[in-house]
Structure 1
Amino acid sequence: MLAQTPQPADQDRVFTSSTDGTWHSSSFGSVLLSQISTPGTVFPLAMTETSTRRPAPEPLYPAEKSPTICSLTELTSLPTIMIVKSRYISPSHWLYSVMLMLPALKWLDKEMVKQEECWQGLIHCKSLGECLRTRRILANSPGQYGSYILDRAVSAALLQNYLRSFEQIYRINHVPTLQRELETFLQDRASVNHECIVRLQLCFALGALTYDDLFSLRPYALQWIYEAQSWLTNAEKSQPSISGIQIMCLLQLAQQTTESLYGDRISALSGNLLRSAICIGLHRDPIGLPRMLPFQIEIRRRLWTTVLELVLEASIESGQPVLISSEDFDCSLPSNLNDDQLHCESTVRPIPKNPSLHTDSSLQIALGQSLTLRLTIAKLWNKVKQEANYATVLQLSPQLTATRQILTNTLKNLGKNTSLLTCHMCEMVLMRYVFALHLPYMLLPDSVFSHSRRECIDAALHLTYRTMPVSDTNESLSELIQQANDEDYCPEFGRLIVCGSGSLRSAQHIAISVIAADLNTMISERGKIATGSALRVVEERWLLKAGVAWARRRIEAGQENVKDYVFFAIVLAAAEAVLKGKPVEDEMTERCKEAIADAKTLLSDMTGGTTFEPASAVQNAECENYLEDIGAFWASDLPSLDWGGFMPMPHS
């Protein structure tokens, strides 16, 4: 159920955030807490254990005097910038959701400093993960393509998986042409050029995400991605082309969903994709360009819409600025046409279907209608001169709610031709913008921001019920869930959330974090809330347990980093300790050890117990470079760079 639109009285409140603030550091990175002000009202930067208000912030703290995350008892000011492993990230990044669970984050920070059993266990898991990553590398020779194509049945299944999922939303290929290319390739591999092989293999890589529950074809997917990178590198000397842009789109989509490339590098890749698309004029509507065939017109419109989707997604996921605005392009959305209406050489313009009828372009059009609004939301936080004020958030919120409702109605009107999988994928795209818009304000306890809290909680519950198998709950709660949901669980979507990365992971991570934060708020206020909220506590406790199970399944599916599993296990332990009246830190310590031991077992089963340089793993952790890697418990999706250039230096 969508959250209610804020009342006019709320919209009159104007809250602005400035870049003035205080940096708080931890083992995992630093966060800037900025002042929030209203006419005549200034909120303190943060509530700490030693003070409740701070004077005007000093220009720059010496490194040894910078306050830490552990000094915070709660947030009363916006976290507007994070520096994690030398990377600058803005509030749309999923990592900001970790601030919702401040007690668990503070406890984990202390454990990293102590470097005792939990810390050493994480080192061991990291070593096992590196070994697992190394074992996935298949033998290859530069310049060779198609050596790891699987048999006909598997190849056909992978292509169908791709066509049923990603191609429905990110229109990149002309499906009849792609299917003919596959058939030709399977009959005579020598008759197909490298470009065709690379395009097919990237489709296979994306289809492999839903092939089984364990992403068993991950090594092949990574190999196919590597070959595409190699081909693009060799093709850079040639001029940009439509087929080249298609492969770039497929490559970015495959890299971010299979975790072969992460946040900031995906953002850099999307910048290259955007510039390449502009170089061949995809940003301009074909009607205003020299005359071209109807087939070319539609392919260009589809491809440009896909480029915008990928650029926006990369910006939101990486917390980096969007490099384009709505004034920079005039290309229209695609027409409501099926692929079989488009023929390469035909000069006859096909007649678009009625918008209420489902076609191969319906879902892309439905999502594309919200591109301007989503550009605005992405720019709200991901720009240097932030003028984020709550009045703007309250203005954009009902627009986003209306957009989500329109999408929901459109998907229902399209009928049975729209699969449950693609419906959930479309909904999740917009859900990510709900979190991007509201999450920074959900971190704040002031009741003024309650609208943002409601929006985040509603979105989190909606998404979690879409992704959680009913079997993950107890019998009584399972019955309630089945009665409350009018749609069946979609196994393919569940596979995507377990096996996929990028927004497939981050949206779920944020949703679980929001639920955990709401649960912690309710159990910390027990006795002050209505008795009926006890049912909500039971519900969210089970959802949090399902979140821990989801993180564990990701390890079973080949995710070599254990951070989500360990952290959510700690968060669950803290909540259950409060409910049972047990010492919170003792319970977190015990549950952390259990989760790490379980993760070790899972990783060891996949690696045969072999670790990466096992004899020196703990000893090397004493070195600064290795400490930096361990400090990347939450930053493992960011390549290793030196902290030095970003840390405040002591005054001389």
Structure 2
Amino acid sequence: MPYMIHLKATLRLKKSLHLHWAIALRQAYVGLCPKAVFWALPIPLQHTFSLHSAGRRDSAWSTLSVEAQTLIATSKAMARTAKKQYACGNSTLDDAARALPPPEVCDVVVRHYMRILEGPFRILHRVAFQREYSAFWENSTKRRPIFTVILCLVMSIGVHFCHDENFEARIRPHILLWLHVAQSWLSNARGKDLATISGLQTQCLLSVSLQFNEGNLQRIWFAQGVLLRNAMYMGLHRDGRHFPDMPFYHVEMRRRLWSTILELDLQVTLDLGMVPTTSEHEFDSLPPMNLDDEVFNETTKAAPTPAANSAPTDSSLQITLRRTLVHRMMIARLMNDSFNEPSYEDILQATNELTKLLSTTKQRLDVLVTEGKASPAHQNLIDFLTRRFLIAMHRPFATKAFQDRRYHYSRQVCLDNALLILTPEHDPDFHRMLLTSVTLFRHIMHHAAISLCLEIMGQIKEDQLDKKLFQIRQQDRSRLLASVQQIPQITAERLRLRETNVKSHVFHCMAIAQIEALENGLDVTGHVLTASVASARQALEILQQRVTANKDGGDHVFSVGSELELAKTDEFLPPTLFRNDDTGFDLGEMTSWLFSDWVDEYPL
């Protein structure tokens, strides 16, 4: 019976690996791996190691591999329990309104939302919002239902930037209630209620709130698709100059909202490896004007004179981000077109154009920070949202550069931009974004870390040809590795908050362990497996603490022992760690067997 289990595991592994690498190789060319193969490195460097002893392979390796997979499987079950604890029942808009804290608390949270999000993503008109916000507390009988939804969503976003544990403790338990009510209200709202400026504002806020609170990328993408189509139904893709009778307030708010909607759509489509939902040729809406919110309102008919381009205003950050939007849309379409593979000449031309724009963007952001219209958090955010396109575009070619010097430029582009992303300006607000956002960490910092790990491994392989050169460059490689070594700290913090995906934490620990082993002449297999077990155990302990803290009675906590029995059944067959040709393995393959199909049965 043990022999049959071992044989079935081996056959399953071979089949899954063939499919795994076929998908990974294809996705590497379109810029992004889907979740099913997200944890394998696209076109990985091959690091081959001799297997000196079959006995060691059967005992030490098998024991560690089963333990690592068991810990991950247990964490998956624990994560499902944690998710169930956050489930919301049927709630009404009145329930959401009653869950709002007192006005003095809401005032603080709203200020933090305005301070952070209403720079790059213009959704609300500050003056109009503040006027209705004051009336909201003065007379509860005249509250507009849609404004109640807007306020709840603003609270669900702004709370992450309060940096006050007392505030967060009072508000955090209600976030999912507000999200659930907002989604329910939007689903049941009449079409004419949604086809308004307020309706689009609500949907934009929902999309942003899902980024910080939900974690389900597919759900974010669906919500974003509905939002974009509603915007096009309202004609936001056509500029206000085509509607001469339209009040200026509507003209300008439509431009702001259209820019925000396009940016949100572009980011989530890149996360999923899709092409943008709309083309740069399908709209003519102009960028927002360089105006402060105080200079116009709902009664403004004629367009006020905009400030000079160099003058900082409430719209400066959005205008700065919008300048690169069309180029980034073209890059996303170039990378993720399923029917046409880009030529390297196309890649170089797109890189040259975007790099020039990013240089201007950097200068503009420095001025805005100096003038107090932007913070380091905004600088970091725009860096992440723009430079990710260069990494995604060049990563498939950068991996080829280790065998073909013609692509060395791509290797340098990935190295430079990965370092810029992995070493953001220190800012507590941006750190909170990394801990709570889906895109900023999972789909930007994570991929930057992968690129840097590949670069370090490539340098080690090249420098090993000359022992003296290997020693001379060791310090430089250590500095590069230090940029990656911060990642497990972030993944652990994310798990302590609301993250349930343990794979990222385990994966980065394994990658760092492989680099350390190669750098110091250690046994790579043993070092990586030991790191996988230690990191998986740490992740499980964090999830156990969360479940226990959230459970009133604490009567059900998973144990590793209960899952060890599961590992002996046909439901969980740990694949072998070695290839049939006994030539060894690489980190990409290790992630294939460690994060097996069984573990992915319940996606996080």
TM-score, normalized by length of structure 2?
Answer: 0.81
Partner of 1:247: 202
Deviations 1:424-475 (A, max 9, x none): 1112111121122112222222222111111111111111111xxxxxxxxx
Determine the structure 2 residue equivalent to 1:537: 477
CA 1:105 to 1:523, structure 2 compared with 1: closer, same or farther past 3 Å?
closer
Q: Please state whether the residue corresponding to 1:319 is helix, strand or coil.
A: coil
Superposed displacement of residue 300, structure 1 = 0.7
- The answer to whether the aligner puts 1:382 opposite 2:328 as a matched pair is no
**2:358 aligned with 1:408:** no
Change (3 A) 1:527 1:92: closer
The answer to whether structure 1 residue 369 and structure 2 residue 323 are counterparts is yes
Alpha-carbon distance in 2 for matches of 1:395, 1:112: 49
State which of 84, 99, 110 in structure 1 corresponds to 2:41: 99
Q: What displacement does 1:170 show?
A: 1.0
The residue that corresponds to 2:587 in the other structure is none
- The answer for the alignment partner of 2:70 in structure 1 is 120
Q: Report the alpha carbon displacement of residue 232 of structure 1 after superposing the two structures with TM.
A: 0.5
**Identity over aligned pairs, percent:** 25
The residue that corresponds to 1:197 in the other structure is 148
- What is the Cα deviation at residue 152 of structure 1? 2.9
- Return 226-235 or 542-551, whichever deviates more: 542-551
Partners of 1:640 and 1:386 lie apart in 2 by 33
1:68 correspondence with 2:17: yes
- Counterpart in 2 of 1:81? 27
Give the direction of change, closer, same or farther, for the CA distance of 1:112–1:431 in structure 2 (3 Å limit).
farther
Q: Distance in 2 between matches of 1:229 and 1:106?
A: 51
Partner of 1:442: 398
Shift in CA distance, 210/120, structure 1 to aligned 2, threshold 3 Å: same
Deviation at 1:503, TM superposition (A): 3.3
Q: Is the 8 A contact 1:78 1:441 kept in 2?
A: no
2: CA distance, partners of 1:434 / 1:601: 37
1:638, CA displacement in angstroms? Answer: 9.7
Letter in 2 for 1:448: R
Aligned residue among 129, 135, 138 for 2:79:
129
> Would you say 1:548 and 2:488 are equivalent positions?
yes
Q: Deviations over 1:2-44 (max 9, x none)?
A: xxxxxxxxxxxxxxxxxxxxxxxxxxxxxxxxxxxxxxxxxxx
Q: Does 1:464 align with 2:464?
A: no
1:422 matched residue in structure 2: 378
Counterpart AA for 2:479: E
- Which residue of structure 1 lines up, in the alignment, with residue 444 of structure 2? 507
Q: 1:579 and 1:322 mapped to 2: Cα distance?
A: 41
CA displacement at 1:235 relative to structure 2: 0.9
Change (3 A) 1:441 1:233: same
TM-score by length of 1: 0.76
Q: Distance in 2 between matches of 1:624 and 1:614?
A: 16
> Would the alpha carbon gap of residues 637 and 226 (structure 1) be closer, same or farther in structure 2, given more than 3 Å must change?
farther
Contact 2:44 2:399 in 1 (8 A): no
Where do 1:99-498 residues align within 5 Å?
99=41, 102=44, 116-138=66-88, 140-144=90-94, 145-212=96-163, 217-238=171-192, 240-262=195-217, 264-414=218-368, 415-417=370-372, 418-444=374-400, 445=402, 446-466=404-424, 489-498=426-435
Structure scoring higher RCO (CA < 8 A, sep ≥ 6) equals: 2
1:161-201: CA deviation from partner (whole Å, max 9, x where unpaired): 22122211111110122223333334444431221011111
Contact kept, 8 Å, 2:71 with 2:537, in 1: the verdict is yes
Query: Given that residues 338 and 360 in structure 1 are in contact (C-alpha distance below 8 angstroms), is that contact kept between their aligned partners in structure 2?
Result: yes
Unaligned 5+ residue runs, structure 2?
1-10, 50-57, 549-553, 575-591
Instruction: Give 3-state SS (helix, strand or coil) of 2:435's partner.
Output: helix
Task: Please give the alpha-carbon distance, in whole angstroms, between the structure 2 residues aligned to 1:93 and 1:634.
Answer: 16
CA distance in 2, matches of 1:305, 1:220: 30
Q: Please state which structure has a larger fraction of its residues in strand.
A: 1
Structure 1 window deviating more from structure 2 (305-314 vs 525-534): it is 525-534
Amino acid at match of 1:380: L
Task: Look up the SS of the partner of 1:372 in the other structure.
Answer: helix
Equivalent position of 2:588 in the other structure: none
Aligned residues of 2:255 and 2:288 also touching (Cα < 8 A):
yes
Provide closer, same or farther for how the CA distance between residues 67 and 568 of structure 1 changes in structure 2, counting only shifts above 3 A: closer
**Post-superposition offset of 1:209:** 2.5
Residues 314-333 of structure 1 show CA distances to partners (whole Å, capped at 9, x for unaligned) of 21011112221122111111
Counterpart CA distance in 2 for 1:104 and 1:118 is 23
The 1:423–1:115 alpha-carbon spacing in structure 2 relative to 1, beyond 3 Å, is: closer
SS of 2:25's equivalent in the other structure is strand
Looking at structure 2, the residues matched to 583 and 260 of structure 1 have their Cα atoms a distance apart, in angstroms, of 37
* SS at structure 1 position matched to 2:438: coil
For residues 204 and 596 of structure 2, the distance between their equivalents in structure 1, rounded to whole angstroms, comes to 28
Q: Equivalent residue of 1:99, what SS? A: coil
Distance 1:322 1:175, change over 3 A: same
Q: Is the 8 A contact 1:283 1:329 kept in 2?
A: yes
**Residues 498 and 505 of structure 1 are in contact (CA less than 8 Å); yes or no, is this contact kept in structure 2?**
no
Contact 1:168 1:361 (C-alpha < 8 Å) held by counterparts:
yes
Asked if 1:596 corresponds to 2:546, the answer is no
C-alpha contact 1:322 1:382 (8 A) present in aligned 2: no
Letter aligned with residue 536 of structure 1: D
What's the offset of the Cα at 1:556? 2.1
> Is the 8 Å Cα contact of residues 78 and 440 (structure 1) preserved in structure 2?
no
Q: Taking structure 1 as reference, are residues 590 and 618 closer, same or farther at Cα in structure 2, changes over 3 Å only?
A: closer
SS across alignment from 1:442: helix
* Distance in 2 of aligned mates of 1:221 and 1:104: 45
Per the TM alignment, residue 509 of structure 1 is displaced from its structure 2 partner at its CA by: 0.6
Contact 1:131–1:611 (CA<8 Å) still a contact in 2? no
* Separation (CA, whole Å) in 2 of partners of 1:113 and 1:101: 28
Q: How many residues align?
A: 545
* Paired letter, 2:17: T
Measure how far apart 1:219 and its partner are: 3.9
Deviation at 1:268, TM superposition (A): 2.7
Gapped runs of 5+ residues in structure 1? 1-61, 83-88, 467-487, 642-652
The answer on whether the counterparts of 1:171 and 1:306 sit within 8 Å (CA) in structure 2 is yes
Corresponding residue number in structure 2 for 1:14: none
Matched, 1:578 2:492: no
8 Å contact from structure 1 (residues 94, 507) kept in 2: no
Cα 1:515/1:351, change in 2 over 3 Å = same
CA contact (8 A) 1:79 1:440 kept: no
Q: Please, what is the CA RMSD of the aligned residues?
A: 3.6
Deviation at 1:553, TM superposition (A): 1.7
Aligned pair in 2 of structure 1 residues 617, 532: CA closer, same or farther (>3 Å)? closer
Quickly say closer, same or farther: Cα 1:532–1:221, change in 2 above 3 A.
Answer: farther
